């Protein structure tokens, strides 16, 4: 029996004992009665900062679906510390200023226990200072290096998804050894893209390659043709990572520019998140490579954990909604919501969390976490959490487009993504 299958029973029994007064009663009463204490207690309120509008809307839609699926599963198993979980969602418009306002609403208006879910790095950077001032634990699902860099504060954690620095450190050797040594990078001109620029450039140099050109593109750009002539002729590998509603246009125009003659191409799936790879105009992607945080297509060696997770969030074996095959998920990122919620659950249980007075204890409980085995709670793969830097480390997947689908060709180790600590948040006061 796994830890996952045992935990709900322990949680339920505690809640039942408080209301029913005895272990015998708790084990003999029907399931609904065992959960009665949890259902009558004040819920744990999680403020969900979601990009419903703005350039992050496609991610926000699937972050929402994943979050609600995880909360349903948690509540069906008895909640957290015998209490149901309630999601309080607020749209931040993928805007830093609105993000800070949302965080304040969570703490002062909605009386949330924690904040959760933010993706775009500029919104995280704009929101986290307010979370720190309000002493609201702020669990982001972002990938940016801003948490582990020490830029933020002790109340901001990223325990459910790896950061860009770790990702590119793990993958640069594959690019250099298999695709080419001379790289041109195309990336969005904000913090997330700058992380790619800085860390992949350094990682390629360390691996014996070089980046010839950096091409930064505004994240709100709608046409990209004028940027492609900047690509040096001697480029062997084109590295692309693009975000926002115009990603399909970006990839199509890239194909039109190169035609049948192109360099090797290595992309982050961000450039195609929520986009069907079989869309007209994307045929040129055949044979190109992508980083994936979590493989969109079910692989031949699919784990029971990924299979159960897909079913829970309503995603088919091709990474699309089970109710609409044209509604493609942001599968490479949204697992971070699922896994982060389970980290919050585990942290609250370890801290004996009862309310805002226990927020500091919750932070300390999460900081004490280390190994996170692959499981129903962590379906993307095994992870190691660094309590000093508030950043999790995990495996990365490199996939190749073959026959209009993504097939995993290489999985990195967790250790390949390690780097020296740049901060020790545990030394900061709570």
Instruction: Indicate the pLDDT class of residue 2, thresholds 50, 70 and 90.
Output: very low
Indicate if 53 and 174 belong to the same structural domain: no
Summarize the confidence of residues 258-268 as an average pLDDT. 92
The answer to whether position 310 is within a domain reads no
- The CATH number that applies at residue 185 is 3.40.50.2300
Indicate if 249 and 135 belong to the same structural domain: no
pLDDT tens readout for residues 133-151:
999 999 999 999 999 999 9
| DSSP H or E segment with residue 58 | helix 57-76
Indicate if 382 and 406 belong to the same structural domain: no
Indicate if 353 and 400 belong to the same structural domain: no
Instruction: Indicate the pLDDT class of residue 261, thresholds 50, 70 and 90.
Output: confident
The answer to whether position 180 is within a domain reads yes
94 is written with which tokens?
Answer: 């993928």
pLDDT tens readout for residues 216-254:
999 889 999 999 999 999 999 999 999 888 888 999 999
Look at residue 243 in the predicted model and tell me its pLDDT: 87
The answer to whether position 240 is within a domain reads yes
Indicate if 117 and 185 belong to the same structural domain: no
Indicate if 345 and 410 belong to the same structural domain: no
Of how many residues is the chain composed? Answer: 430
Q: Which domain holds residue 124?
A: 3-163+333-395
Chain mean pLDDT for the chain: 91
Indicate if 208 and 123 belong to the same structural domain: no
Asked if the model's pLDDT at residue 113 lies above 80, the reply is: yes
Instruction: Indicate the pLDDT class of residue 18, thresholds 50, 70 and 90.
Output: very low
The answer to whether position 318 is within a domain reads no
Question: What percent of the chain is modeled with pLDDT above 90?
Answer: 87
Asked if the model's pLDDT at residue 84 lies above 90, the reply is: yes
List the single range of 161-165, 243-247, 375-379 with lowest mean pLDDT: 243-247
Instruction: Indicate the pLDDT class of residue 260, thresholds 50, 70 and 90.
Output: confident
Indicate if 254 and 401 belong to the same structural domain: yes
pTM of the model: 0.89
pLDDT tens readout for residues 167-202:
999 999 999 999 999 999 999 998 999 999 999 999
Look at residue 175 in the predicted model and tell me its pLDDT: 97
Indicate if 31 and 176 belong to the same structural domain: no
Indicate if 284 and 413 belong to the same structural domain: yes
Look at residue 290 in the predicted model and tell me its pLDDT: 97
Indicate if 183 and 143 belong to the same structural domain: no
322 is written with which tokens?
Answer: 């089970």
Look at residue 25 in the predicted model and tell me its pLDDT: 38
List the single range of 7-21, 66-80, 385-399 with lowest mean pLDDT: 7-21
Give me the number of domains the chain comprises: 2
Look at residue 219 in the predicted model and tell me its pLDDT: 85
């Amino acid at each position: 029996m796994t830890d996952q299958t045992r935990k709900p029973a322990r949680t339920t029994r505690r809640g039942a004992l408080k209301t029913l007064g005895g272990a015998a009663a708790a084990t003999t009463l029907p399931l609904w009665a065992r959960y009665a204490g949890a259902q009558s207690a004040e819920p744990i309120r999680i403020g969900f900062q979601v990009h419903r509008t703005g350039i992050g809307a496609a991610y926000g839609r699937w972050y929402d679906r994943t979050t609600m699926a995880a909360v349903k599963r948690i509540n069906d198993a008895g909640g957290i510390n015998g209490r149901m979980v309630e999601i309080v969602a607020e749209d931040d418009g993928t805007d830093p200023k609105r993000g800070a306002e949302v965080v304040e609403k969570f703490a002062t208006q909605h009386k949330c226990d924690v904040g959760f879910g933010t993706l775009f790095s500029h919104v995280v950077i704009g929101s986290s200072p307010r979370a720190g001032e309000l002493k609201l634990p702020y669990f982001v699902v972002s990938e940016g290096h801003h948490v582990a860099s020490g830029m933020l504060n002790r109340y901001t954690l990223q325990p459910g998804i790896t950061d860009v620095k770790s990702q590119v450190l793990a993958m640069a050797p594959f690019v250099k050894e298999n695709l080419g040594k001379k790289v041109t990078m195309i990336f969005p001109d904000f913090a997330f893209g700058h992380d790619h620029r800085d860390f992949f450039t350094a990682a390629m140099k360390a691996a014996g390659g070089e980046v010839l050109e950096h091409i930064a593109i505004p994240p709100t750009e709608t046409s990209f043709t004028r940027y492609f002539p900047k690509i040096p002729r001697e480029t062997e590998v084109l590295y692309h990572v693009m975000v926002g509603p115009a990603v399909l246009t970006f990839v199509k125009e890239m194909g039109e520019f190169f035609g049948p003659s192109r360099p090797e191409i290595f992309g982050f799936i961000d450039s195609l998140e929520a986009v069907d790879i079989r869309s007209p105009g994307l045929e040129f992607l055949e044979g190109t490579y992508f980083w994936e945080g979590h493989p969109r297509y079910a692989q031949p060696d699919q784990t029971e954990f990924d299979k159960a997770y897909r079913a829970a969030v309503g995603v088919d074996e091709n990474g699309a909604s089970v109710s609409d095959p044209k509604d493609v998920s942001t599968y490479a990122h949204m697992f971070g919501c699922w896994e982060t919620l389970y980290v919050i659950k585990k942290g609250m249980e370890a801290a004996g969390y009862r309310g805002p007075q226990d927020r500091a204890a919750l932070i300390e409980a999460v900081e004490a976490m280390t190994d996170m085995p692959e499981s129903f709670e962590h379906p993307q793969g095994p992870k190691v959490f660094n309590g000093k830097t508030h950043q999790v480390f995990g495996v990365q997947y490199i996939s190749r487009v073959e026959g209009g689908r993504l097939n995993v060709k290489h999985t990195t180790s967790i250790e390949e993504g390690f780097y020296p600590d740049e901060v020790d948040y545990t030394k900061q006061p709570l």
